[in-house]
Amino acid sequence: MNVFSHGGDLKSLAEEGCAMLFAGTAMELLGASVTTKDGEFYAHLHMCAGNEQGQAFGGHLNEAVISATCELTVTCLPGRTDRAFSDKVGLNLISF
């Protein structure tokens, strides 16, 4: 399982299929969008985590376990936003 899909020194870890564990450190969700893709829930999350040595690591957050507390602010916008795979770009793009 990869917790990060890219980012700095984490690239080699992601290529090896390693998960990063940040026990006892701070993690900040920097930006996110929650949409649907093919009628299913789809989250696109960016995060940054720091360790006890003062290093910061960032990238896409694919999975996390909240051990004690989590503070979220969610703003719902009117309308609907979906994602659709683009063969031209090779990514799931926002479709309004």
User: Which bin fits 52, alpha (ψ -120 to 50), beta or left (φ > 0)?
Assistant: alpha
pLDDT at 16: 47
pLDDT higher than 80, residue 19: no
At residue 22 the predicted structure's pLDDT band, cuts being 50, 70 and 90, is low
Q: Tell me the pLDDT tens digit for each residue of 65-82.
A: 777 777 888 888 888 889
Beta carbons within 8 Å of 15's beta carbon, 6+ residues apart: none
Q: Tell me the pLDDT tens digit for each residue of 27-67.
A: 677 788 889 999 998 988 888 887 777 778 888 888 877 77
Triad 12, 5, 53: Cα angle to 5°: 60
Q: Tokens for 69, please give them.
A: 């507390």
